[in-house]
Amino acid sequence: MGLWQIGTDTLARSRFVLSPFAETFASLKLLHAGTGSHPGEEAWLRAHLPGYRARLATDPVAAHLVRAALGTSWIADFFCPTSCVGESFEGTVARVRAAGADQARANLRVSLRGPLPAALERDDLPERATALLTSVWEETVRPYWDRRRRILEADMVARTARVNQGGWAAVLDSLRPGMRWLGESRFQVNPHAYPPREVAAGAELLFMPVTPRTGWVSWEGRERYAVVYPCLGVLAEDHDRRPVPAGLGALIGTARAGLLTLLGTPMSTTQLVAVTGQALGSVGGHLRVLLDAGLVERRRAGRSVLYVRTVAGEMLLEASGPVPVTRSRNRERG
Q: What is the CATH number of the domain that holds 290?
A: 1.10.10.10
Listed residues 230, 260, 278: the one ending a domain? 230
From 94, 122, 146, give the residue that closes a domain. Answer: 146
Please state the separation of Cα 279 from the chain's center in Å: 26
> Domain check: are 135 and 248 in the same one?
no
Contact 274, 259 (CB under 8 A): no
Residue 62 confidence class, pLDDT cut points 50, 70, 90? very high
Residue 181 in domain: yes
* CB of 268 closer than 8 Å to CB of 305: yes
**Final residue of a structural domain among 146, 171, 198:** 146
Task: Say if residue 334's pLDDT is above 60.
Answer: no
Residues 98 and 24 in one domain: yes
- Tell me which amino acid residue 77 is: D
Is pLDDT above 50 for 326? no
Name the burial class of residue 36, with classes exposed (0-12), middle (13-18) and buried (19+) by CB atoms within 10 angstroms of its CB: buried
pLDDT of residue 239: 43
Are 35 and 95 in a shared domain?
yes
Q: Could you tell me if 154 and 10 lie in one domain?
A: yes
Range of the domain at 215: 2-17+148-230
Please say whether the dihedral angle defined by the alpha carbons of residues 22, 100, 204 and 91, taken in this order, is positive or negative: negative
pLDDT band of 191, cuts 50, 70, 90: confident
Query: pTM for this structure?
Result: 0.80
pLDDT at residue 235 greater than cutoff 70? no
What is the Rg, in whole angstroms, of the alpha carbon atoms belonging to the chain? 21
How far is 267 from 305, CA to CA, in rounded Å? 8
**Structural domain total, the chain:** 3
Domain check: are 12 and 156 in the same one?
A: yes
41-54 per-position pLDDT tens digit:
999 999 999 999 99
Q: Tell whether 11 and 157 lie within a shared domain.
A: yes
